[in-house]
């Protein structure tokens, strides 16, 4: 089954959405699961804190000069299904 997607610009206002998607995307990554093993059974409060920490980290990165962020949106549902960032060397966002 394929989905139709649309690519949109993203800003720091999308940071929490990006944080959530990156957690999902990394769920099977060996390094990520070594650092945050599922069997550790984090409490809901710990999971919320991890999401807050990751959101703030991504928000700060998104506000940096020379960075450009994008969201892939499922056209049918409007849900974000992918994120991407480009960090260009020695760039100014006004360029």
**Tens of pLDDT, residues 41-51:** 778 888 888 89
Question: What pLDDT shows up at residue 90?
Answer: 62
- Number of domains the chain contains: 1
Domain coverage including residue 75: 5-87
Residue 47 included in any domain: yes
For residues 68 and 10, the answer to whether their CB atoms sit within 8 Å is no
Q: How far is CA 51 from the centre of its chain?
A: 10
What pTM, to 2 d.p., does this model score? 0.73
Residue 95 included in any domain: no
Residue 94 included in any domain: no
Residue 46 included in any domain: yes
For residues 7 and 70, the answer to whether their CB atoms sit within 8 Å is yes
Residue 93 included in any domain: no
pLDDT, one tens digit for every residue, the chain (95 residues): 688 999 999 999 999 999 999 888 887 888 877 776 665 677 888 888 889 999 999 999 998 888 899 999 999 999 999 999 888 776 555 54
């Amino acid at each position: 089954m394929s989905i139709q997607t649309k690519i949109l610009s993203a800003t720091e206002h999308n940071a929490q959405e990006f944080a959530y998607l990156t957690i999902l995307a990394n769920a099977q990554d060996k390094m990520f699961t070594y650092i945050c093993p599922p069997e550790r059974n984090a409490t809901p409060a710990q999971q919320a804190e991890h999401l807050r920490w990751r959101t703030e980290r991504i928000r700060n990165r998104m506000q940096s000069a020379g960075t450009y962020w994008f969201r892939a949106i499922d056209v049918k549902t409007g849900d974000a299904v992918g994120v991407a960032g480009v960090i260009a060397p020695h760039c100014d966002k006004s360029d």
